[in-house]
Amino acid sequence: MKKADLNYKIHSQDSSIDCLESLDEEQRAAVLDDGGNSIVIAGPGSGKTKVITHKIAYLISKGVPAGKILLVTFTKAAANEMIHRAQQVSRSPLNGMLAGTFHHVCNYLLRKYSNVLKLDPNFSILDEEDSKTIVKQAIGEYVEKNEKFPSPSVVLSVISLAANTSREIEDVVEEDFDYLYSFSSKLKSIKERYEKLKIDQSALDYDDLLVYTNNLLDIESVREKESLNYLWVLVDEFQDTNKIQYEIVKKLSSVHGNLMVVGDDAQSIYSFRGARYENIIEMANKKDVKIYKIQTNYRSSPQIVELINSMIPNNIFAKSLKPVKPDFKRPVVVSTWDSIEEAEFVSTKINELVNEGISPSEIAVLYRNHSQSMDLQLELSKSRIPFKVRSGVRFTDSKHVKDVLAFLRVLANPKDMISWMRIFQLFSGIGKRSTEKVISDEDFRNDPIDFARHLSKIGQKYEKIEEIFRTISKDDTPSEILDRIFEDFYSDYITLNFEDRVERQMDIKRVIEIAERYENINDFLSDLAITENIDLDRREGEKEESVTLTTVHRAKGLEWDVVFIISVNPGDFPSSFAISEGKIEEEERVFYVAITRAKRYLFISRQMTGSRIPYYGNRIEINGNKYDFVERIPPSLYEHWRVN
């Protein structure tokens, strides 16, 4: 079957339909594309969703059945929104159209062809917790009970990255998890056992959906049948696709050859999940691929757009955004002394803006790492400014922060049974039953040091706890105590138990940095508790408008009237890890995504001091501007405020 025999072309002589009237010239060119492979380079705020939905409507108007169009997105919400809008524009129910995430499409195909791959048609799909349970079982078969070994979540992250990047476990460990090199051989065996256990249970995990589908489409008869069915394949957020996802859409469009992908190489920020912005470049370099650029920015003021244009990373496709909104104020770069002053400035400015009539729900504070929000959370809580955290749980509610704070709590209150139980659970070999038995012995819980000595006499498994408590005292400052716990024990614990070890280690360092402001444990713990108490009060008013606090990664695809980007210092943003690992290009794209979220007001704040640890912080890098994003912005494009 020759590709040319089945190539489907749309002729533009009868293209005057209502939906085209609302499109600008660049959007219309993409929608009217008559077939073949094409890339739509969509700048931020340029209406990429509009292009996709109107493309669907246009195809329907030209007689293409909805069931012959495939739409692949990255979130279920995006798929639902696009289909809803396409239904409105096309005035069609779009019955029979397959639309959804890559995993949704793959699940559909695998169940349809389960017999071909000898899969149980009723196979289960494992969620992350299910996968961890099976990985834990596999670990138990290769690792001794009290042997130090990475946690199931860390092991699963290694296995997942190998699947998404089509690499062997050994290569992934060497290139991305070098701190696990000594476990490489066992990790390979555990991965193989994990695969076998899934097969035994007729179960697939999320990565399997992609891998199995890609293998399925390597079967010529299946590939031809499925790709024959789809006259058009449309892909959203193409810059976030990994190697396997790109292969899948190429195969599904192989008969008719009508593949349209929409994306922006400058907004590719998920390489840690295996995403490759290089997919856009590779596709663009192929013969007969058409490239459309949509560059009119409908989101931001001209002043913000001008700053955005000055900071476009890579700019492989030489885009330049054109604003359409009326003039407004220039963006502001704010210099504060430290993170405390920064938090006070943001809190004060938010109050001013709200008093001027801006809704709190139209205000967002963005940061590179969740830990950078802690000072701000405390300040907003004290000022009783309602806020919601999209980047994760409240800082003081996160497991790793609660773990280290538990040591302070038992020093302040040796009868705190909950904190003792949390501490015990950090050490292998100490089960719930023995924990409850030890804690019930009240005679030894008047002094934590005595209690720790008592524990070491009960059994060898408690010796590490006693060793830790021998090095700390309630008379030490909170930062001294936390520093010792982190360096002597908890840093290694994070490495072996969390896949996002760098972020969590930085979180603890931020806690230690904040603790440096306090002379005693009780004052420190009391101030942290303020955030939790106010948060409890706030839950009663669920509909209260609130300011959004979020990492840049969680902000992608969203927009607000007012955006604050905090801690834009070398070592914080860009992150110290990116600097040390030579991954500054992705940090540039993350910063680009951040500044493009703002519609009217944009505040970029930086600190004159920086992190407490010179190697990770700003004190080394601040002397030069190689990694300083603010230094790259032309001074004429912003106002500079110095907070006194």
The pLDDT tens digits for 389-416 are 886 666 667 889 889 998 988 888 777 6
Extract the tokens encoding 81. 């929104």
pTM, to two decimals = 0.79
Supply the pLDDT for residue 380.
93
Residue 169 pLDDT greater than 50, yes or no? yes
Q: Which of 64-78, 264-278, 326-340, 516-530 tops mean pLDDT?
A: 326-340
Supply the pLDDT for residue 562.
98
Identify the three-state secondary structure at position 560. strand
CA distance 458 to 462: 7
Peptide bond into 448 cis (omega under 30): no
Say which residue, 578 or 314, is predicted with more confidence. Answer: 578
β-strand 290-294 against 37-42: which pairing, if any? parallel
CA distance 627 to 585: 10
Contact present, 238 and 280 (Cβ < 8 Å): yes
Residue 636 pLDDT greater than 90, yes or no? yes
Supply the pLDDT for residue 245.
96
Mean pLDDT for the stretch of residues 355-369: 96
Contact present, 121 and 111 (Cβ < 8 Å): yes
Supply the pLDDT for residue 69.
96
Residue that the structure tokens 């210099």 belong to: 335
Mean pLDDT for all residues in the chain: 85
Mean pLDDT for the stretch of residues 210-229: 96
Supply the pLDDT for residue 318.
86
Percentage of residues of the chain with pLDDT beyond 90: 53
325 CB-contact burial (10 Å; exposed 0-12 / middle 13-18 / buried 19+): middle
Supply the pLDDT for residue 581.
81
Buried b (16+ CB within 10 A) or exposed e, 214-247: bebbeeeebbbebbeebbbbbbbbbbbbbbbbbb
Adjacency order of strands within the sheet including 363-367: 387-389, 547-551, 363-367, 560-565, 598-607, 332-336, 639-642
Q: Which of 224-228, 274-278, 544-548 tops mean pLDDT?
A: 224-228
Extract the tokens encoding 221. 């008869």
CA distance 487 to 508: 11
- Rounded alpha-carbon distances, angstroms, from residue 327 to 332, 349, 634, 635: 15, 21, 19, 18
Buried b (16+ CB within 10 A) or exposed e, 44-69: bbbbbbbbbbbbbbbbbbeebebebb
Supply the pLDDT for residue 262.
96
**How many helices and strands, by DSSP H and E, does the chain display?**
30, 17
Residue 312 pLDDT greater than 70, yes or no? yes
Q: What backbone torsions phi and psi does residue 575 show, to the nearest 5 degrees? A: -70, 155
Mean pLDDT for the stretch of residues 475-494: 91
**In this structure, which amino acid lies at residue 113?**
Y
pLDDT-based confidence at 439, cuts 50/70/90? Answer: low
Mean pLDDT for the stretch of residues 31-52: 95
Mean pLDDT for the stretch of residues 128-136: 85
CA distance 338 to 510: 13
Extract the tokens encoding 248. 């899948």
Supply the pLDDT for residue 129.
77
Supply the pLDDT for residue 530.
54
